[in-house]
Structure 1
Amino acid sequence: MTKGRKIIGFIGLILAMFMGALDATIVNIALPDIMEDLHTGLTDTSWVATIYVLAMAVFIITVSKLADIYGRKLVMLMGVLIFGIFSFACMMADSLSMLIAFRLFQGIGGAILTPIVFPMGIELFGKQNTSRITATMGAFSALAAAGGPVIGGLIIHWTTYHWIFGINVPIAILAFLMILFGTKESYDQTISKNIDWLGMIFLTCTLGGLTFGLLEGREYGWTSQIIISSFIISVVGLFFLILVERKVKSPIIELSLFKEKTFTSSSIIYMVFGLAIIVPSLILNYFLQNVQGYSALHSAYLIIPASLAIMIGMPLATKMYQKISARLLISIGLIITSAGLSMLSLIKYNTSQGIIICCNIIIGLGLGFMAMALTSSVKYLPVNKTGIGSGIVNASRYIGQAVGMALLVTILNSNVNTAKVQIKETAYTQIDERVLSTQVKKVAKKEISKTFKTTKNSTNISTKQNNMIKQIKKAAQKTDNLPIPKKGSSYRKIYDANELLINGTESISSNVSQLAGVPQLAGVPQLAGVSQLAGSLKVISDGQTELGTAIKLLAQKDELTSAFKVIIKEKNKQLSQAFDNVFIIGGGIVFICTPLALLTEKRKLSKL
């Protein structure tokens, strides 16, 4: 095969892998739009993202083995076909249940695209180019993961979220043709042809039970039967998974590979990489769209520095890898990433966009260095185990993403609901203390309760806030039963003065009316205009009454404006704090895994 055909084939493989990795995060930017379009909440809508990475985590190792047995090129082409078909199905879905179901099958297709690229790349260019192949894969994989929100934001800006899925169709067709033309078939001749179906079932139970329990725990109640059962299924599944994998001849996860310390530590670190990337691509995105009220495109512009930093960090780390050990590079990446994530906790509602961009640059640079875990993971594995090894380490990343989504979204939901309670209490206090009509107070409390209701629609507040203000202002325009302005205010002084004028005018009008009733006396022509004067005084009195109503309306408007300022300020403060410990937890998880980097490239001399 000519070098040109090999390059075309490898580009096709990278396109396929990029497409599969991209869809693990590109949907994150669209979740608020999906929530609004399909009238769902955060927890339910999160399954659109979670089910995809969960399917990849579960099936990625199985398809690696199927590819080794039945042919990597054949399985890869099937994966591209499945991914393209169900991407189109996701594009056409008109309900959340259909979208989640189609995303499951799209995830199965994505599970095929990722792990087979590495062994097929080695088949094309040889073992001696392993570092270059893994560096290229790592760079594009990391770029796809961090660039998903950016690309998604651009698509939503120009079209609708449906094209986030539809854009995959032409890419899938192009990748299919390039792989068909530019690659050759390869197998693992040493692998057993038996498929570990029991292992796959127990792996599904382990990950599915854990993810469902974490994501739905707050909704159903942590002590509810369904959540406790979910965690029990996860633990029992893990127990039987280890038991089965130690006994079967052809395990889905070859536990013997974990005797190699570099492989084990790299797999865990790559799992942390998957969890860490959820923070800027999902959690920060929610903050930007649903707290600060930015559009999807604007949010994408603020997240794109993370993608650009990964593009710089990964090649830089690869270059440094020639002179510096992987353990040092990965340690640097873990520390930088944890620092960047922790810095996000300092962001408030009024924090400048420049600081947010700086945080994302730091995070992206750290993630670029962390991605070296992919390069070091298979360094000491036998050539015929690179396929299954690649599958396991890539599965680790998607396990990290699935668990990260479930864990961090659950914490975020809990925090936001706590914040809503505080906001509601502040809002009620403000409404009670203000001089407002009974109707306005009633409408205000009703709308506040509706806006800050503690449900699983935890972050969908911005659009509700605008509707709340609209309804309260509408009620405040009515002139029935308006309260007298607050004592000591300028409006009260004007109102009291106007009341004196009204009383004086009415007194004069009354006397004039009595005078107008006296029979006209001869020789007193001045009394002929008394009736006209009484009419004029009546007009003046009515005008002063309307002025009094206007003063009351203006006073009530100022009271509402002042109350809104306090309520909105409290809302921004409480919601900003709700995100703080989510960022800190993400950074903390990354940091505590730093000692694992010391085990990379520390080869254990045992027979695999």
Structure 2
Amino acid sequence: MTSQTAVEKAPQDEISAPAKGLRGHPWLTLFAVAIGVMMVALDGTIVAIANPAIQKDLGASLQDVQWITNGYMLALAVSLITAGKLGDRFGHRQTFLIGVVGFAAASGAIGLSHSVTFVIAFRVLQGLFGALLMPAALGLLRATFPAEKLNMAIGIWGMVIGASTAGGPILGGVLVEHVSWQSVFFINVPVGAIALALGLLILRDHRAENAPKSFDVVGIVLLSVAMFCMIWALIKGSEYGWGSWRTLAFIGVAVVGFVLFALWETKVREPLIPLGLFRSVPLSAGTILMILMAFAFMGGLFFVTFYLQNVHGMTAVDSGLHLLPLTGMMIVASPVAGILITKLGPRIPLVGGMVCTAVAMFGMSRLTIDTGTVTMSIWFALLGMGLAPVMVGATEVIVGNAPLELSGVAGGLQQAGMQVGGSLGTAVLGAVMSSQVTSKLPDNWAAAKLPPLTPEQSSGLSKAVEVGMGPVQPGTPPEVAARIAGVAHDTFVSGMSTAFTVAGIVAVLAAAVAMFTKRGVNAEAGAGVGHI
């Protein structure tokens, strides 16, 4: 083949041949995929700031607004591994470019929507196209960079994700406040156009000679059903009740689906996920580590935004600015982590990173209503410093220990681990918060000598307190309003403290898992194309 999208048949010949010009240049490839990845990572948090404006403008219910986030997360989590397989089959360049175009187009469609139903539908499409884009980006880096430079590349890749994720609330606040909620989505259109143009000029398709030639349709269906039911149970568990028959039914279907999937994968000729991948202890450890890291990070960060906005009364922009120590440290520490991992191997940086993360979580468990900016910044910065080597190292361990022809599946596995861990952390730590509020709120309310509540009032108050709000009715005397707010904030901070303690324990467990990681055994065999 001679076209620009030609698939190379002899990747090993390419490995020794330097890239000529723009196409296939490793650092330019990193720049091109980073633009696309930034678009998806930014969207994960920027939309949360726009939700109240969307609710008001479109007359949406609270449940509708929740599905703006949940629909995106479900589509992304369910599709990631299958999308990675598509990249392995048809080439990561093509998959990446389709993901970029689809994601940008869906974003523009959301901005033009006049109904919350269409917003949710296009958010699901965003998730599907985002799932195509993310594993393909990792697959391109895996195939383009030589082994000695891969950690640095993934470090910069992780830096882009971390900065975009943490910077979302700041940019979202500015756009919603000074432009419109639609601008939060429209901004992806020019970014997507830039990513497409760069991709067409720079990206070079690399497909291993023994890349998969067919699709495991049954495996895709079984895994998708199992992932959907598991994520659905985590999303809806607090609403249904964790012991309710509906929650248990979805969990049961998920377990059965995963078991059937595993059995099927041992019989099919070209499985969706060759289970032999998990014979690699480092790859398995890296996947578990990614889940535990996301559990602690995303589950904990969920409460930080409520703490800053509802307890300290900050605006969305101010709360985003207060998270800059976390963002800034991730930006600084990610490439440094890549250098350290290249020199020392992943084990020591990963263990050290999770120890820092655990210390930060235990430190944040001591936050109070009156904690100042300096103290918060110290813990946020330490958290960023701890997360950086894990984002870089665990990703390299998973992708680097997979054969080149399965780099897309490995990238999907890494991203799916983050989604599952984040959902699990938010659900479990949310349940911890709910339990603490239920047990402490009545005593705190009575101790403040506030009027007794009816069961209905108590239930509504608990839901508000779980996000740090003290619902005060209009006309309430200032003294009583202050006591209600004090009780709500005290109870919330107590629950948050317990949640961060649990997150710290999970981080300690993750540090132990990190002891089983090591540099990718296939790094040399599949390492990179091009000259750096």
TM-score calculated relative to the size of structure 2 = 0.85
Cα distance, 1:458–1:27 mapped onto 2, change above 3 Å = farther
Partner of 2:200: 180
What runs of 5+ residues in structure 2 fail to find an aligned partner?
A: 1-18, 527-532
RMSD: 3.1
Q: Secondary structure at the match of 1:247?
A: coil
Which aligned pairs between 1:359-374 and structure 2 lie closer than 5 A?
Answer: 359-371=379-391, 372-374=393-395
1:586 CA drift (Å): 1.9
CA contact (8 A) 1:424 1:449 kept: no
Query: What is the CA–CA distance in structure 2 between the aligned matches of 1:188 and 1:603, rounded to whole Å?
Result: 17
**Which residue in the other structure is 1:113 paired with?**
133
User: For 2:313 and 2:440, how far apart are their aligned partners in 1?
Assistant: 17
The residue number in structure 2 matching 1:306 is 326
Q: Check 1:185–1:563 CA distance in 2 against 1; reply closer, same or farther (3 A cut).
A: closer
Distance 1:572 1:244 in 2: 51
Deviations 1:10-66 (A, max 9, x none): 42211111212222233344455556665544x764443343233222212212221
Letter in 2 for 1:582: A
| Structure 1 residues without counterparts, runs of 5 or longer | 433-444, 473-559
Contact 2:461/2:471, CA 8 A, preserved across alignment = no
2:423 maps to 1:406: no
1:586 aligns with 2:486: no
Name the SS for the 1:348 alignment partner.
Answer: coil
What is aligned with 2:15?
A: none
How far residue 455 of structure 1 moved from its aligned partner, in angstroms, is 7.0
Structure 2 distance, partners of 1:206, 1:32, is 32
Q: 1:167 deviation in Å?
A: 1.5
How many Å separate the matches in 2 of 1:460 and 1:91? Answer: 28
Q: Which has the larger radius of gyration?
A: 1
Q: Would you say 1:569 and 2:486 are equivalent positions?
A: yes
Deviation at 1:583? 1.7
CA drift at 1:346: 1.1
- Confirm or deny: 8 A CA contact 1:54 1:208 kept in the other structure: yes
Distance (whole Å) between structure 2 residues aligned to residue 119 and residue 136 of structure 1: 15
Maintained 8 Å contact 1:146/1:281: no
Give, as a single letter, the amino acid of the residue that structure 2 aligns with 1:162.
Q
Larger RCO of the pair (alpha carbons < 8 Å, separation 6+):
2
Is the CA contact 1:124–1:183 (under 8 Å) kept in the aligned structure 2?
no
Q: How does 1:435-514 map to 2 (within 5 A)?
A: 453-454=460-461, 459=466, 462=469, 464-465=471-472, 468=473, 470-472=474-476
Question: Out of 154, 170, 182, which is 1:162 matched to?
Answer: 182
Deviation at 1:390, TM superposition (A): 2.4
Q: 5 Å matches for 1:205-224?
A: 205-224=225-244
Tell me, what secondary structure is at the counterpart of 1:102? helix
Instruction: State the 1:307 CA deviation.
Output: 0.9
Which has the higher mean CA deviation after the structures are superposed, 411-420 or 563-572? 411-420
Q: Distance in 1 between matches of 2:266 and 2:138?
A: 26
Q: CA 1:156 to 1:585, structure 2 compared with 1: closer, same or farther past 3 Å?
A: farther
- How do 1:184-203 residues align onto structure 2 when only pairs under 5 Å count? 184-203=204-223
- The 5-angstrom pairing of residues 296-335 of structure 1 reads 296-335=316-355
- Contact 1:337–1:363 at 8 Å: present in 2 too? yes
State the Cα distance separating 1:228 from its structure 2 match. 2.0
| CA displacement at 1:285 relative to structure 2 | 0.6
* Residue number among 362, 372, 377 corresponding to 1:357 in the alignment: 377
1:102 and 1:455, CA in 2 relative to 1: closer, same or farther beyond 3 A?
farther
Identity across aligned pairs (percent)?
24
**Counterpart residue type for residue 580 of structure 1:** S
- Mark the CA change 1:320 to 1:305 in structure 2 (over 3 Å): closer, same or farther: same
Contact 2:237 2:427 survives alignment (8 Å) = no
Aligned residues: 502
Confirm or deny that 1:597 pairs with 2:514. Answer: yes
For the residue of structure 2 that corresponds to 1:175, the secondary structure is helix
CA contact (8 A) 2:399 2:520 kept: no
User: Once structures 1 and 2 are overlaid, which stretch shifts more, 372-381 or 165-174?
Assistant: 372-381
How far apart in 2 are the matches of 1:409 and 1:93?
A: 32
- Displacement after TM superposition at 1:123 (Å): 4.5
- C-alpha distance after superposition, 1:74-110 (max 9, x if no partner): 2221111110111123334455544333222101111
1:80 aligns with 2:100: yes
* Mapping 1:4-43, distance limit 5 Å: 4-5=22-23, 6=25, 8-31=28-51, 40-41=61-62
Q: 1:252 aligns with which of 272, 285, 305?
A: 272
